[in-house]
Chains A and B, each alone.
Chain A
Amino acid sequence: MSEATAEKAVEGAAPATAAAAHAPVKSDPWYGGVAPFGTDSKKFGMWLFIMSDSITFAAILMAYTYMRIADPDWPLVFNAQSVVLSTIMTFVLLSSSLTMVLGVAAAEAGKRKRAAAWIFATAFGGVAFTVIHAWEWSHVIHDLPEGAMPMMWGCFFAATGMHMLHVTIGVGYLVILGLAYLSGKFKPVDVEVAGLYWHFVDLVWMFVFPLIYLMSTDMTKGFGH
């Protein structure tokens, strides 16, 4: 049997000839007999978005790293207080990832109310992160000397602002998802897809925190402004 005939014998397709009708059904991925990635199309779509977005963040952080290495006199603008604050923010984001995992597990177990509760807890973590971050931004903007260190602060606001935008969108996404899931509109896979987005936001912060904060910190400055 030729390869062209075998392709026509794929499950679900109408056999073109009598010989093809008796040919074995092809289950090989190359003939399209099985889903090659064995995953839901929504999950795959979210992964494609995550891949493209991770490259965007990589470009921003790479630009920062480039300038950080190129300048031996890079200003160490953060102190111990900034590190404590950003460590708390890291803790909040990591914990919100754990609550998201619990939400996905509850959704897969068919426990709708519990899943929604964990989803709202995750959104609350996102709100807490954004509030702390916005408070820090307001202090940085207030203390910013006019015209000083534009490159450092350009990197800081670009990277953390882009991340904070993602967190804010994520909070909205989770609230809508939680409400819709509670009313029975969404399936467990939709919760899992939202979880992928939220974990990605957490993942990006795992690079922003050390590169932006820890690489520009002078711990001898202690606490206070």
Chain B
Amino acid sequence: MSDHGAGHTAHHEFNLKENLGNWFFLLALTLLEVWLAYIHLPPVTMLVTLLGLSGLKAAGIIAIFMHMKFEKLSFVLVVVSLTVLTIALLLIIVPDAYVLQNYRW
């Protein structure tokens, strides 16, 4: 992340190698996810692993493709922390699903 002066937006030199590397990284993680579908993991293990891999892919897209790594720290903190916190609050209800496993509707 870089610090910029008044009124300036984040500018950086375009790095083709970095962007291509990120694209290959995202493709590799996608293939890893598909491979996981072939080996029969328990649903919860599968869910946690897939969410972890998707989180990694999201980080790659946000940081490099969306240029977040070149933005000011104050901007990154506001955008990322608020979104992550709000989505994490939604996760609070998920453990309740285990209770429901014992009920049939």
Q: Please tell me the size bucket of the interface on B.
A: 35 or more
B101 contacts which of A70, A83, A102, A215 (Cβ < 8 Å)? A70
A38 contacts which of B19, B53, B71, B97 (Cβ < 8 Å)? B71
How far, in Å, is B54 (CB) from chain A's closest CB? 5
Residue-wise interface mask of B (29-66) relative to A, using a CB-CB cutoff of 8 A (1 in contact, 0 not): 01101101110000110110011011001100110011
| Contact call B79/A47, Cβ cutoff below 8 A | yes
Please indicate the chain B residues that have their CB under 8 angstroms from the CB of A40 in the complex.
9
- Among the interface residues A44, A100, A102, A214, which one has the most CB atoms of the partner chain B within 10 A? A214
Please indicate the chain B residues that have their CB under 8 angstroms from the CB of A203 in the complex.
57-58, 61-62
- Confirm or deny: A33 has a beta carbon within 8 angstroms of a beta carbon on chain B: yes
Please indicate the chain B residues that have their CB under 8 angstroms from the CB of A199 in the complex.
61-62, 65-66
Please indicate the chain B residues that have their CB under 8 angstroms from the CB of A215 in the complex.
43, 46-47, 50
Q: How many A-B contacts if CB must be within 8 Å?
A: 151
Please indicate the chain A residues that have their CB under 8 angstroms from the CB of B46 in the complex.
214-215
Residue-wise interface mask of A (139-159) relative to B, using a CB-CB cutoff of 8 A (1 in contact, 0 not): 000000000000000000000
How far, in Å, is A110 (CB) from chain B's closest CB? 12
| Contact call B14/A108, Cβ cutoff below 8 A | yes
Residue of A nearest to B36 (CB): A214
| Contact call B61/A62, Cβ cutoff below 8 A | no
Interface SS, B side = helix
**Cα–Cα, bound, A213→B90 (Å):** 22
| Contact call A39/B34, Cβ cutoff below 8 A | no
| Contact call B75/A206, Cβ cutoff below 8 A | no
**Cα–Cα, bound, A197→B34 (Å):** 26
- Confirm or deny: A173 has a beta carbon within 8 angstroms of a beta carbon on chain B: no
| Contact call A87/B7, Cβ cutoff below 8 A | no
- Confirm or deny: A98 has a beta carbon within 8 angstroms of a beta carbon on chain B: yes
How far, in Å, is B74 (CB) from chain A's closest CB? 6
**Cα–Cα, bound, A202→B72 (Å):** 24
**Cα–Cα, bound, A7→B65 (Å):** 38
Which residues of B, 46-105, contact A by the 8 Å Cβ criterion? 46-47, 50-51, 53-54, 57-58, 61-62, 65-67, 71-72, 74-75, 78-79, 82-83, 86-87, 90-91, 93-94, 96-98, 100-101
Interface set of B (CB-CB < 8 Å, partner A): 3-11, 14, 16, 19-20, 23, 26-27, 30-31, 33-34, 36-38, 43-44, 46-47, 50-51, 53-54, 57-58, 61-62, 65-67, 71-72, 74-75, 78-79, 82-83, 86-87, 90-91, 93-94, 96-98, 100-101
- What would be 10 A-B contacts, judged by CB atoms less than 8 Å apart? A38-B5, A68-B47, A69-B101, A87-B30, A87-B31, A97-B61, A105-B16, A195-B65, A196-B66, A203-B62
Known: A62-B90, A105-B14, A192-B67. 19 other contacts (CB 8 A): A29-B74, A33-B6, A34-B7, A35-B7, A65-B94, A69-B44, A69-B47, A87-B34, A90-B30, A97-B23, A102-B19, A108-B11, A199-B65, A206-B26, A210-B54, A214-B33, A214-B34, A215-B43, A219-B38
